[in-house]
Amino acid sequence: MIRSLHAHSTASAGLPGNGPTTSTSASSTTSTVLTTSSTTTRSTTSASSTPTALRGLHNLAKAKGRYFGTAIDGLQNNNDPAYQALTGNPAEFGISTAGNSLKWDATEPSRGTFTFTSADYHLKWAKDHGQLYRGHTLVWHSQLPNWVSSGGFSNSTLISIIENHISTVAGRYKGQLYAWDVVNEPFNEDGTYRTSVFYNTIGPAFIPIALRAARATDPSAKLYINDYNTDWIGSKSNAMYALAQSLVAQKVPLDGIGFQAHLIVNSFERTLPTNFQRFAALGLDIAITELDIRFKLPVTDALLASQAENYQYVVNACLGISRCVGITTWDTSDDYSWVPSTFPGEGAALLFDANKSPKPAYYAVANALAAATVKGNF
Ligand code: 9MR
């Protein structure tokens, strides 16, 4: 494991993927799930002579007006050529997200002192590999240095700290990023606002303040609010919807909603399409921003098959909606996932295994992308 993992201050009940435990039937998708995990058996469901999976997920997504991306972390210290070759393959991943290097603790560890070494390295690496870039994230309660969270600042001082942080960090990359997750994880599971230094000091107004600062700094970046466990219809997504509706009504600059989709195999409500659709109906883009679907180890063929079906369901939920611009998985192969260190005994959540071999879920996603009929507006 090369990535550094920051300690979580959140109780596990508040972590991504700790959603409802309702198990739903696997029969609600219509397309075929491939259950091969070998590169020698590939899907040929497409009309093209190139087997579907060989064309790469991003190429398949691009043909349908969408992107497929991945997240990466700790790149400067990475000595794994197979991982870099796969993660940097623009046929598979056309857009890259830094897992940690653009967060507040990485970019402004002390007040007014900015460090961009890791973010610069990552952005250059993505460009060198023909990839676009999603920025993650500007205002978040976590991975926030103590000088911000415990600074005891007044309302107006904290607003100016937010505005300075955004104008400096987003300003450095002006015009270079496809999108920014401007605000990350503002809600509790029950749909109330999460208590954070931002909410406690400024109230919910910290959200439009951050969005306006981001638009003023980088007018060409798509501006997102991003959260987890908002993927299905429930208290938390209802709160996100009410927020989105009110921001749109007030003409606050907001371009999209990010659905992280940190999921557990067979443990999420099958209401993603209806949920996504109501956000799209507000005139917003939507994106799946941190997709992974974990399960309790050990890996079995049955679990891999269920995971493949679950991935296909989630990807199809995006592919049915033209405003769903793309999908990002939260890293590339299982040996780099954040899951095992955060949820001991769980893992195997991504599309590629630790040998960088595509799993059944990879083929299920490739097939879903190839079969999509609704064009996206990426
Ligand atoms: O992948 C990130 C991991 O390396 C960090 O330790 C962790 C700290 O919270 O953050 C991870 O990424 C999170 C993302 O920024 C926001 N959504 C949840 C992700 C997984 O925890």
127 CB near ligand 1 (under 6 Å):
no
- Extract the tokens encoding 174: 């002006």
- Reported as a single tens digit per residue, the pLDDT across 137-192 is 999 999 999 999 999 999 999 999 999 999 999 999 999 999 999 999 999 999 99
- Reported as a single tens digit per residue, the pLDDT across 229-251 is 999 999 999 999 999 999 999 99
Q: Examine the pLDDT at 121 and tell me if it is beyond 60.
A: yes
Q: Examine the pLDDT at 19 and tell me if it is beyond 60.
A: no
Calculate how far, in angstroms, residue 337's C-alpha sits from the geometric centre of ligand 1.
Answer: 10
Q: What is the DSSP string of 211-233?
A: HHHHHHH-TTSEEEEEESS-SSS
Residue 361 in contact with residue 307, Cβ under 8 Å?
yes
Residue 52, pLDDT score: 77
Burial, 25: exposed, middle or buried (Cβ in 10 Å; 0-12, 13-18, 19+)?
exposed
Q: Is the dihedral of CA 131, 75, 264, 293 positive or negative?
A: positive
Q: What is the dihedral of CA 351, 354, 359, 363, to 10 degrees?
A: 50
Q: Which atom of ligand 1 is nearest the CA belonging to 184?
A: 16
For residue 192, how many C-alpha atoms fall within 13 Å in the half-sphere facing its CB?
Answer: 6
Residue 346, pLDDT score: 98
292 CB near ligand 1 (under 6 Å):
no
Confidence bin at 8 (pLDDT 50/70/90): very low
Q: By alpha-carbon position, which residue is closest to atom 20 of ligand 1? A: 338
Calculate how far, in angstroms, residue 100's C-alpha sits from the geometric centre of ligand 1.
Answer: 7
143 CB near ligand 1 (under 6 Å):
yes
Q: Which atom of ligand 1 is nearest the CA belonging to 331?
A: 1
The residues that are catalytic are 290
2 CB near ligand 1 (under 6 Å):
no
Amino acid at residue number 92? E
Give the SS3 label for residue 8. Answer: coil
Residue 49, pLDDT score: 62
Strand 346-347 versus strand 285-296 pairing type:
antiparallel
**Radius of gyration, alpha carbons of the chain:** 20
Mean pLDDT of 304-328: 98
164 CB near ligand 1 (under 6 Å):
no
Give the chain's domains with CATH numbers. Answer: 24-371 (3.20.20.80)
Residue 366 in contact with residue 312, Cβ under 8 Å?
no
Residue 13, pLDDT score: 39
Residue 43, pLDDT score: 42
Distance of CA 276 to the CA centre of its chain: 15
Supply the pTM of this predicted model. 0.90
Distance of CA 334 to the CA centre of its chain: 16
Poorest-pLDDT segment among 10-14, 129-133, 318-322:
10-14
Average pLDDT of the chain, as a whole number: 90
Residue 5, pLDDT score: 30
Poorest-pLDDT segment among 22-36, 46-60, 272-286:
22-36
pLDDT top residue among 351 and 36:
351
Q: Examine the pLDDT at 6 and tell me if it is beyond 60.
A: no
Q: Ramachandran region of residue 229, left (φ > 0), alpha (ψ -120 to 50) or beta?
A: left
Percentage above 90 pLDDT, the chain: 85
Mean pLDDT of 82-103: 98
- E runs forming strands in 172-252: 179-184, 222-227
Confidence bin at 70 (pLDDT 50/70/90): very high
pLDDT top residue among 262 and 52:
262
Q: Which atom of ligand 1 is nearest the CA belonging to 5?
A: 6
Residue 29, pLDDT score: 34
Residue 350, pLDDT score: 99
Q: Which atom of ligand 1 is nearest the CA belonging to 330?
A: 1
Interhelix angle 272-280/235-249, rounded to 10 degrees, is 10
Pocket test for ligand 1, best of 100, 264, 350 (most atoms within 8 A of CB): 100
Residue for token pair 């638009």 = 215
Calculate how far, in angstroms, residue 99's C-alpha sits from the geometric centre of ligand 1.
Answer: 7
Mean pLDDT of 28-36: 33
Mean pLDDT of 28-47: 36
Q: Which residues of 78-88 are buried (b: 16+ CB within 10 A; e: fewer)?
A: beeeebbebbb
Confidence bin at 15 (pLDDT 50/70/90): low
Calculate how far, in angstroms, residue 265's C-alpha sits from the geometric centre of ligand 1.
Answer: 19
Mean pLDDT of 331-351: 98
Residue 117 Cα distances to 37, 120, 162, 338, 353, angstroms: 38, 5, 21, 22, 30
